[in-house]
Chain A
Amino acid sequence: MKLFRIFSLLLITLTAGSLSAGELTIATVNNGHMIEMQKLTGKFEETHPGITVNWVTLEEGVLRQRVTTDITTKGGQFDVMTIGMYEAPIWGSRGWLEELTFDDSYDVDDILPAMRGGLSHDGKLYAAPFYGESSMIMYRKDLVDAAGMTIPDNPTWGHIQDVAAAITNKDEGIYGICLRGKPGWGDNAAFITTMANSFGARWFDENWMPQLDSAAWRHAIDFYLTLMNNYGPPGSSANSFNEILALFNEGKCGMWIDATIAASFISDPRQSKVADHVAFAQAPVAVTHRGANWLWAWALAVPAGTKQAEDAKKFIQWATSKEYIELVAQTNGWASVPTGTRQSTYDNPNFQSAAIFAEAELTAILSANPSNSTQDPTPYTGVQFAAIPEFQAIGIAVGQQFSAALAGDITAEEALANSQEAADREMSKAGYY
């Protein structure tokens, strides 16, 4: 049985893993600002001897699935989790997150009120914002000028349609407007919700009845489809942030309404061919300005029950502090700091001069209010989502319908009827009515 012994020896050597205590394990998204935080870990470990940090970096969708599994089963694999504005209030209300309190030097009042509100439940802060974003319109000033048009700071959807018509030049591969179309609650559903909000629509009425069959939704979807079918690029039903970013940076898009973070990518000459020609304005409105631009934050939270809660909070305090923002500024310049979290960032003259999008971004974030984002009253919080556990499933089902309508497989009417049915199924199963 010599062979057997060799095999077993091999197996034992191969399986021997490393086990070590006293370390922080942090789960985070693979976006640029988090990668920067990961690079600067050394600075944290220098000032906090005795704490070492391990990173688990994953793409957004996978990370969300990963941390939700861990926190709901009390897996205890992570000491700090990166979560979004969608999770924070839900998890906080379930008692799954530690409340975050900071000492005076942290200056918690400096955090933008919209961010703080969106990450709290019952007035308790459960996650500290690491960077935040809203949505706005980004456009090619050269194309708009050439067409003899202008885009005001607060455009209407009607005007945007006119501009799109004027600058579209399909022969040269220039599409007037690029918008999200890939199904997903954080993909097309997020964008279309802001559009629908502005057309006066809402996801649910005060009794949690889905409202997707309302006239306001119908107007919004009709408008979206007309716009995209006439002036959008082909393949839109599979486009989300990154696909459109690639199109925009290649000079294929005239206008794009998406996350404010995109501004720093499209204005960076190392990755954008049109960096010199971009300009910004607020997201367009139709009948109301409420909820016309979204609000999102990636935030750091401590799962309840971790053995390293104290060290974890120290890390969060470090990573979301003013000092951290200054540290990034020293390392990479003010244009690269994580934005959307603190008033002090926007007050900083160095930041104002380095980031051409600063003013538009701040205006957008300040104008978003997750607890009052629709024309008619609703029982939920959130601008581009409803902060209830059912929303992810509803969002993807509805998103699939919208993308089918965009691909021309079904009509807007069918898409909304199907969406209404899908939302109704989920809500009644969950016992809302």
Chain B
Amino acid sequence: MRLTAKQNNTLRAMLSWLAGIIMFFPIFWLVLTSFKTELQAISVPPLLFFEPTLENFILVQERSDYFTYAINSVATSFGATLLALLVGIPASYAMAFWPSRFTKDILLWMLSTKMLPAVGVLMPIYLLVQKAGLLDTRTALIIIFAMINLPIIIWMLFSYFKEVPREILESARMDGASTLDIITLLLIPLTRGGILSTALLSIVLCWNEAFWSINLTASDAGTLTALVASYSSPEGLFWAKLSAVSTLACAPIVVFGWFCQKQLVQGLTFGAVK
């Protein structure tokens, strides 16, 4: 049996929806659990229909000031991403359009700075941050997050910049545009989708970073991962409360991602330009 194009597309749309639902299901389950009582959360068989309760969310807000942590998370992940983009965009631009014979090695070396596992360098970094008087500050987290993500940002930007036809930039240069103009007025708008998805990934990685944000903070600069850590695995049942706090911790970034997703895929349409 041969499918018509229309049938084919319907089937494909259904498959896409199915894939989306399967991937999202664990998150749905997490959110669902956050409206259960602790006893309902461990019930066998698991409950799909129940009387929802807001008890967990009320408890979380009563116990800890969600917004302090949320603000720290926003400040550190956006701050670090901005910082990394600021130094990363010019570097990727130069490497993508004016590569030298070292460029490939530099790129690989940059990625290799991430090879030291965090647990192995806890002591050196902790001592450095302590000596600099930056324990429990957002500054320390911003710098570290920026350094952790810089190689990834450069790699991704590099690959997106590579897709921009060189002629466009060349002709702008012929018209006398400065390097800064080319980057800000031409390259960034042209690769908006790529830069945004790079930024989004970097923000998400910072947002979810748990090792440094827990080990280097105390009461002032704690991020949402520290908040989640204060709800995970206590003595006693905790799945409903943990689900509630995780829902709260992930919600801003999911909403932000939702907000961005249209932008992500726009602006990368050089096919038409060529």
Contacts and interface: CB of A to CB of B under 8 A. Distances in A.
Interface stretch (A62-70, A222-230, A331-339): A62-70
Interface stretch (A53-61, A387-395, A410-418, A421-429): A53-61
Contacts of A35: 63, 234
B142 A11 contact: yes
Contacts of A49: none
A59 B232 contact: yes
B215 A32 contact: no
A270 B39 CA distance: 7
Contacts, number: 129
A383 to B, nearest CB: 18
Interface string B37-55: 1110011100000000000
B203 interface: no
B44 A259 contact: no
B214 A252 contact: no
B226 A14 contact: no
A2 to B, nearest CB: 10
A165 to B, nearest CB: 23
A379 B235 CA distance: 31
Contacts of B236: 31-32, 242, 245, 265, 271
Nearest to B146: A11
A277 B95 CA distance: 71
Contact of B222 (A56, A62, A75): A56
A66 B222 CA distance: 13
A94 interface: no
A32 B59 CA distance: 12
A31 B235 contact: yes
Interface string B78-89: 110011001000
B229 A62 contact: yes
Interface stretch (A22-30, A120-128, A136-144): A22-30
Interface in B148-184: 180, 184
Contacts of B221: 17
B233 A59 contact: yes
Contacts of A7: 82, 86
Nearest to B83: A11
B261 interface: no
A329 B230 CA distance: 25
A54 B44 contact: no
B215 A65 contact: yes
Contacts of B235: 31-32, 241-242, 259, 261-262
Contacts of A245: 236-237
Nearest to A241: B235
Given A242-B237, A249-B237, A252-B44, A73 B219 contact: no
A242 B137 CA distance: 34
B218 A271 contact: no
A273 to B, nearest CB: 7
Nearest to A173: B44
A315 to B, nearest CB: 14
Contacts of B75: 14-15
Residue with the greatest number of chain B CB neighbours at <10 A, chosen from A58, A73, A250: A58
Nearest to B139: A15
Nearest to B71: A14
Contacts of A272: 39
Contact of A11 (B38, B79, B219, B233): B79
Contact of B136 (A4, A11, A77, A262): A77
B126 interface: yes
A3 B237 contact: no
Contacts of A65: 215
B181 to A, nearest CB: 11
B64 interface: yes
Contacts of B62: 39
B18 interface: no
Interface string B201-244: 00000000000001100111110001001111111111100000
21 contacts: A14-B82, A15-B79, A17-B139, A17-B221, A18-B220, A25-B218, A29-B234, A31-B234, A31-B236, A54-B220, A57-B64, A66-B215, A69-B123, A77-B218, A173-B44, A242-B238, A265-B237, A270-B39, A271-B237, A272-B39, A273-B39
Given A250-B42, A271-B39, A271-B236, 10 more contacts: A4-B86, A11-B83, A15-B142, A31-B234, A58-B226, A59-B229, A66-B214, A262-B235, A270-B39, A271-B38
Interface of A: 1, 3-4, 7, 10-11, 14-19, 25, 27, 29-32, 35, 38-39, 54-62, 65-66, 69, 73, 75, 77-78, 173, 241-242, 245-246, 249-250, 252, 259, 261-262, 265, 270-273
